A and B are shown apart, each in its own frame.
Chain A
Amino acid sequence: MTVKYTREHEWIRIEGDTATVGITFYAQEQLGDVVFVELPEADTSADQGAEVAVVESVKAASDIYAPVTGTIVESNSELSDRPELVNEDPENDGWFFKMNLSDTSELEDLLDEADYQTFIQEEL
């Protein structure tokens, strides 16, 4: 199991050819209280960088991008009734969707945890 990060503040946990995607602790902190999450349907295919979900906080709506190319296999239906899970447990129970990866080489461009920590320090 590997965890990678994007510059759009998403985490991606890879287990075999399946990836679970969510937003980072830092991202939820910046968003503030999450009040609504719009999730993709299962079986939709998405290119890397495509807008696939939306997270809305009390402040604004933000797009969630597919971190890699693949097919959405499942969305976290729990979030539709409990969007606050994104704040409470962003990197576990607050996951957004799972995808089947088409091209594992895309993972090489993503950040590892240390790189991501450096990246957010620079953004602050």
Chain B
Amino acid sequence: MTNLHALVLESFHAERGAKFGPFAGYRMPVQYSLGVKGEHIHTRNAVGLFDVSHMGQLLIEGTGATNALEQLVPAALQEMIPGQIRYSQLTLNNGGILDDLMLTRWDEESWGLVVNGACKHGDIDHLKTYLPADVTMRYFDNHSLIAVQGPKARRILSELIPEAEQLTFMRSTQTSWNGHDIILSCCGYTGEDGYEISIAKQFVRELAEELTQLRETTWVGLGARNSLRLETGLCLYGHDLTTDTTPIEADLSWSIQKRRRTDGGFLGAEIILKQMTDGSPRKRVGIKPEDGKTPLRDHTILKNVAGSVVGEITSGGFGPTLQGPVAMGYVSQNLCELGTELVAEVRGKDLRCAVCDPIFVKQRYVRNLSH
């Protein structure tokens, strides 16, 4: 594991029993002493803390920024209000996906972007190529990002950062904590209510220590982050999304708002919008084995009942909340209907399985405050 970047909190994580693995060019905590299963269940029941500082935090500003960004993502940005977040993708001319990302509008022409760690340098190059000269881009590599996720995250984090209490899903605010500037965003990638906190690196240890002191929190590694997102049907770039996958194939049409569907005007729009009307050759679906037990791993071949190859699993494993196998993958359009019988090739043997909703465990975002 040489030539990998170390997180600012590496020794902090090591003190908590973290086992590290390489991911996105960083030495990342894969699990802590609680273990993947325990960390997963703790996040679903209480609060999980995640160091996701490998992710890329960018700020794009200047006259024409909004229009320029709209040419690179299929989300409708002009209609967004300050403090609103949208999930989208950086698309390519072939309709494929360079990366998926979160965009936060700060002002008329000011945008915060959070992109995947493994893609951030490629994304920066791509953005530089397409953004006009008047639009500036800053890469906040001097900032860490800590996620606080779980059904008790709202109540517990509010004790530290009162603004958390009123912040609903896909809203963000620039505030301060202990005198340090932070960006508090209500989003995440576990399917649970929760937050991501952006803070300058020199203060992240202070924040991490205070979060650890809060009731019912535990640190969670990439292992459980993966099973949490997989159970709730969220895509992982590089597995479920690639430069050869369109947003339509990935079943992300919901992230393309009405105006963009009509007017297009983003890279790959011709192909993507045509697929939206006419259908795509393949589609992302959930897959479950009929025995209810055998985990289907990434790259497992999927066949139709006649034995022809029709697709493959792109993410799969075991879901500790579901207490069973969870998987998503791509199959031919004519086989994407729920309940369609398929055969997975597992270690040379045929295993009967069926197409299902990729959301195995219901997402529990807080979109409205009921009081």
- On A, residues with C-beta under 8 Å from B are 32-33, 35-36, 38, 54, 56, 58-61, 80
Contacts and interface: CB of A to CB of B under 8 A. Distances in A.
A58 B37 contact: yes
A58 B297 contact: no
Contacts of B111: none
B184 interface: no
A38 B37 contact: no
A33 B35 contact: yes
A58 B294 contact: no
Interface in B289-345: 293-295, 297, 317-318, 320, 325
A113 B20 CA distance: 30
Contact of A36 (B40, B223, B227, B295): B295
Chain B CB within 10 A, most for which of A35, A36, A38: A35
Given A35-B318, A59-B223, A60-B297, 7 more contacts: A32-B36, A36-B294, A38-B347, A58-B320, A59-B36, A61-B295, A61-B297
Contacts of B37: 32-33, 35, 58
B264 to A, nearest CB: 42
Contacts of A58: 35-37, 40, 223, 227, 317-318, 320
A56 B317 CA distance: 9
Contacts of B317: 58
Interface residues of B, number: 17
A80 B293 contact: yes
Contacts of A38: 294, 347
B241 to A, nearest CB: 22
Contacts, number: 38
B293 A54 contact: no
A78 B77 CA distance: 55
5 pairs of A and B residues whose beta carbons are closest in the complex? A33-B37, A35-B318, A58-B36, A56-B295, A58-B37
Contacts of B38: 33
A32 B35 contact: yes
Contacts of B36: 32-33, 58-59
Nearest to A58: B36
Contacts of B347: 38, 54
B43 interface: no
11 contacts: A32-B31, A35-B295, A36-B325, A38-B347, A54-B347, A56-B295, A58-B35, A58-B36, A58-B37, A59-B36, A80-B293
A59 B295 CA distance: 11
B293 to A, nearest CB: 6
Contacts of A33: 35-38, 320
Interface in B207-262: 223, 227
Contacts of B31: 32
Contacts of B325: 36
